[in-house]
Structure 1
């Protein structure tokens, strides 16, 4: 059976909500790790691994950002997929047709689904990004962004100048980072999807309300701190930095630009960090507004939200 025959546009790519009207995210299925342990199947090696991402997906964006912040550009190659989720899933393009994208020079694939089938011919899950690919064993190492972020932060340090510089998961802050990650993931990172993909009013209101309660909580934290855990940018900040959703996903009770001055200051500070501005809002807008079930006309709004390049107003 060919790859194209295996891809079913009705399941799983567009299965946004269940019968209860609520969005339930499918767990990632490739959960191996790059590790410096002597018996590791995937040891850290320069040039061995390849990252598949696009500029639309915030889960992919965090993997791309940690690669840059740690100085891993020469160690892990990258392919930027097209921002459109087609009936066959994410697909590859080239900068001539779509500026900012790159073709798949590692596997020569046309669709991301082909990468999944190379790793497992019987794969039946969703074709998500980010994907970390091992060129040596020709398989997917991991497709869970939180785990990719964690081992990219630590496992290449012995090979990098100054240990890669920034430590996104310092030992003295791990308990605090884990606690922040837990509720921010459930109510903010995933909360926008629970709101935007809800198919009942009750499911939408429940999750949208929880989202803004958490934004209020984050605003209070950032009123007293430069970053979520203090003066250091950590994994908690990396995972919060998502640049879309306000209008398209109906998360519009308040706005970051008008109602959350501390979050806005924080977002500008993150965006203006060296290598921090790896956001392509044009890709993000065209990708999200291209979801026909949410926006049948495909019309893309002109606005981009707050200007993150403006000077940061210090606390």
Structure 2
């Protein structure tokens, strides 16, 4: 007689604990540009936007607001890059980056600018889910008026000195009048003037038309014997014209001019230094008003 006994198989499961790392928060609180109309309001979880710019701008500034409350310490603040360039920022402040858009004012510009938010090195290697890339598709319309603004205006003399213009020249500026000072004793001036293609550059000096190289003029001009040399430069395209006037005056050789200095306000008389390089004044008040006077008639003094 055979006895049958029930057999129970014990199955053992070995449970291996798994630790799931928390996903890094890589969304921005806000994102904006210095100019342009966005196709929609910013939302942290929406990553693609179109930015429409109607008038020509050479540069665009991007500002990214970080949600600092989402991070335990500054060591875990995200790394922000705009168009591949890392953007530094401080706690509580936006990450601000300005970039040149490039392109020609007379042509439509379409450019994609990526704004990337990634964890810092202390967070570890992370994964693709730990980063967010916002794409700004910028469309800048052609602006034919801006195409007539000069891109370069520079003078230097035959003594190898650069003429300082007032106001200082900035590319694509709408300024139409400049003044400059040329070194005493200079005999010739070199003009370098340029426009953005397809505009053509033209220039006149002392009523004489200078030779143009198409979109630029690079020419030497004799200094006017009167001490003041006047220029007219312009960018032209399709019967449109933007003109700029420049007046360059010769500086006075102060070593050959007799100058006196007078203090106003009951102060003591200024005393010229022995070496002739200046004056000394004992002031009794916080502010001193000085008046510089040429003892040589017919001369102007730019006193700073």
Q: TM-score interval w.r.t. the shorter chain?
A: under 0.3
Higher strand fraction: Structure 1 or Structure 2?
Answer: 2
State the structure with bigger RCO (CA 8 A, min sep 6), 1 or 2: 1
TM-score, normalised by the number of residues in structure 1: 0.18
Structure with the greater alpha carbon radius of gyration: 2
Higher helix fraction: Structure 1 or Structure 2?
Answer: 1
TM-score, normalised by the number of residues in structure 2: 0.18
